[in-house]
Each structure stands twice: as C-alpha cells, then as structure tokens.
Amino acid sequence: MDLSITFIVVIFALGFIGSFVSGMLGVGGSIIKYPLLLYVPPLFGLVAFSAHEVSGISAIQVFFASIAGVWAYRKSGLLHKELIIYMGGAILLGSFIGSYGSGFLSEDAVNIVYGILAIIAAVMMFIPRKTIEENAKISFNKVLASSLALIVGVGSGIVGAAGGFLLVPIMLTVLKIPTRVTIATSLAITFISSIGGSVGKIITGQIEYWPAFIMIIASIIAAPLGAKIGQKMNVKILQWLLAIMIGATAIKIWIDILQ
C-alpha cells in the first residue's frame, strides 16, 4: 500500500468532502465517495482501487461518519425512535446479507448494483410530493417501512453504502416523513446499516485498512460540521442538492459500465 504524502492528502480530502455532505444531507456519504474513490486517485498518479476495495473502504468509513452525524443531531428532537427501531432492524439484516454476499460477486456486478441503486434514488428524488408539515404528527406503515429497509440493506450492503442515499427519498416520498426528521433519522438508520455492512466486508476480506483509517479521521471532523450547516439551511435547497448529486453520480457510473 502506497502511503505517500499525495496518497494521504488525496484520500483525506475525498473522505472530508463525502462526510461533510453526509452530515449535511443525512446520507452515509458513499453516494459520493464510491465514485470518488474509483475515479480520483488515478488522476493523481495513484493506483486505482477495485470495486470491492472501494465498497469495503466505504462500508467501514460510513460507520464512523454516521456516528458523528447522529451525535450532532442528538439534542435536536428530530430523531424518530419508532422509525429507527423498525427500519434499523430490517436494514441491519439486509446490509449483512448484501455485504457478505458481495464477496462472491464480480467487479462489474458490484458497479452495476451501484448504478441501479443510484438511478432509483435519483428518480425518487424528482417525484412530485406534497410538502409535509414539519410539525405534523408522524405515522407510517410499519410493514412497508421494514420491507423497504430490508431491500435497501441488501443492495447497499453490496456496494458498502449503508443505504442513506436511498433511505432519504423513500422516507420523504413513500413514508411521507417531514424533511428535517428524515435527514436526522436516516443518519441513525444508516449507522445501524453500516454495522451489518462493515461486519460482512471484514469477514470477506474486502477492506483496505490504511485508506479506511484516513477516511475515518476525515469523517469525524467533517460529518458534524455538515450536520450543523444542514440544520440551518433551507429544506428545498437540501433536497435539490441531494437530487443533483445522486443524478450526476448515476449518469457517470452507467456511462462507465456501458463503455
């Protein structure tokens, strides 16, 4: 493993950018970090990571990024305990199944799963929906919430993403949860998902520990900063930022898969 100054600076910067967005938008950050780790290191003359290595680094890094993000929201009153219990339990099981099973998939298969997830998330963010009052009483279909979380867990476990980038549009569009509660609560569910994802990747030997460690340090610094800014930003701006980010990533991944 090349541990040059360039390597450390590049990996730290990628971790910082992804984790800042993670905290700000309530996603685990892998929606950005996955393509960044695949495409950016070679631009600086560094050895490219494989899809399995990227998914492994992302999985363990998301674990720490989501802890830091949830900690920043702990006193906000926006963490919905019932949603966390039902969706968290289901996504924990799904993410372990997906992350363990990914060890038996090819590089292209891992990238294809990522591309499919990114397109679904991008489309969901652009589906018109009624604005949910931030103070509205929250009720949701527990079976539907758990089932969707299980499916998200399997898919996101494969790519080491913990599922935050899919949880947000599902909670907003399907379950009709207010935006600020969605952003905070999805971080907590993402954290639970990342436990199953990390364990599966460790068992199957898909983690490069030095780059993961560098990105973890970046997450601990950047995720709380993002969460603080996210609490003060306009909700509509947050939604559009997330939609644009997911859409751009989906397009890039599919262009590369189809070439």
- Residue 161 pLDDT > 90: no
Task: Return the structure tokens found at 28.
Answer: 């685990």
pLDDT, residue 134, reads 62
Residue 224 banded pLDDT, cuts 50, 70, 90: confident
- Residue 93 pLDDT > 80: yes
pLDDT, residue 137, reads 75
DSSP states of 123-188 as a string?
A: HHHTS--PPPPTTSPP---HHHHHHHHHHHHHHHHHHT-TTHHHHHHIIIIIS---HHHHHHHHHH
The full 3-state SS of 9-60, as one line of letters, equals HHHHHHHHHHHHHHHHHCCCCHHHHHHHHHHHHHHCCCCCCCHHHHHHHHHH
Average pLDDT over the chain reads 83
* Position with higher pLDDT, 106 vs 246: 106
Q: What percent of the chain has pLDDT over 90?
A: 22
Q: What percent of the chain has pLDDT over 70?
A: 91
